[in-house]
């Protein structure tokens, strides 16, 4: 079972999981749940398969996609630049990919040395993504309008994050929140931050298997974690 780190996002979730909220967080918390499994049912899904390869962006599954600084829609791999996330435990099924185990063969998004901007079309409280070859210099930041709700890095997802391009380096990460956000921005200070199969919802879907997986794994720490970007590390 993968390691699990928890950050503040939801009063309801915090109470359900039996963790206290950190004083001064005004009951706001982000819970980050990295699993081999995948997205919960009952959310909205975007697989980016309809986007043209390259930096044009567009809309997929209701999510607006735009790029800066070398970000683009890609497929397969380009050594030294990007590599596809790794599908495991059939976690692409909700997104139309029936692969049981293996590299993602469908289009996915990469930041390059820039960013991928995801516009969710309204206030959300749940977000999930298939995060490939997690690296410490990958950063994911949540915004409501121009206001940053908070950010996490690859090191927050997995303490030993080192860009592993196999099954042990890819996580389906679920974020639960009672702080609204409408935009998510992925950035990287070195090549690269790759991801696919985004799920999102205005409220926490709270399907039974997802809630129980959180309870079963246990949580380490509470309170919103905001980290400064790490120095550039060679891929």
Which of 191, 197, 149 lies closest to 173, judged by CA?
197
Render pLDDT for 156-196 as a digit per residue (tens, 0 to 9): 888 889 998 988 899 999 988 878 999 999 999 999 999 99
* Domain span including residue 152: 11-217
Check residue 229 and give its pLDDT: 30
Asked if residue 4 belongs to a domain, the reply is: no
Which of 196, 215, 151 lies closest to 177, judged by CA?
151
Most confident by average pLDDT, 10-19, 34-43, 56-65, 225-234: 56-65
Asked if residue 222 belongs to a domain, the reply is: no
Q: Which helix (H) or strand (E) holds 145?
A: none
CB 83 within 8 A of CB 133: yes
Handedness of CA 152, 158, 163, 167 (dihedral sign): negative
pLDDT at 9 over 50: no
Number of domains in the chain: 1
Render pLDDT for 146-160 as a digit per residue (tens, 0 to 9): 999 888 999 988 888
Asked if residue 65 belongs to a domain, the reply is: yes
Check residue 217 and give its pLDDT: 31
CATH no. for residue 100?
2.60.120
Assign 1 a pLDDT band (cuts: 50, 70, 90).
very low
pLDDT at 6 over 70: no
Asked if residue 6 belongs to a domain, the reply is: no
Q: Assign 50 to helix, strand or coil.
A: coil
pTM for the model: 0.77
Asked if residue 160 belongs to a domain, the reply is: yes
């Amino acid at each position: 079972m993968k390691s699990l780190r928890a950050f503040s996002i939801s009063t309801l979730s915090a109470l359900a999981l039996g963790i206290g909220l950190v004083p001064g967080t005004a009951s706001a918390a982000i819970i980050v749940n990295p699993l081999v499994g995948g997205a919960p049912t009952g959310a909205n899904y975007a697989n980016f398969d309809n986007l043209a390869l390259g930096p044009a962006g567009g809309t997929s599954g209701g999510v607006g996609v735009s790029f800066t600084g070398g970000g683009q829609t890609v497929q397969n791999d380009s050594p030294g630049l990007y590599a596809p996330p790794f599908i495991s435990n059939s976690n692409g099924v909700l997104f139309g990919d029936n692969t049981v185990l293996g590299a993602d063969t469908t289009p996915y998004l990469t930041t390059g040395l820039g960013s991928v901007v995801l516009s969710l079309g309204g206030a959300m409280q749940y977000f999930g993504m298939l995060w490939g070859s997690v690296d410490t210099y990958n950063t994911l930041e949540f915004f409501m309008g121009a206001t940053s709700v908070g950010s996490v890095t690859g090191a927050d997802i997995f303490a030993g994050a080192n860009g592993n391009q196999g099954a042990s380096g890819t996580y389906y990460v679920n974020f639960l929140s009672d702080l609204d956000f409408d935009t998510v921005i992925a950035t990287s200070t070195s090549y690269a931050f790759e991801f696919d199969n985004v799920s999102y919802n205005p409220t926490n879907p709270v399907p039974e298997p997802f809630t129980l997986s959180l309870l079963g794994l246990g949580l380490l720490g509470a309170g919103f974690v905001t980290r400064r970007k790490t120095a550039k590390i060679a891929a």
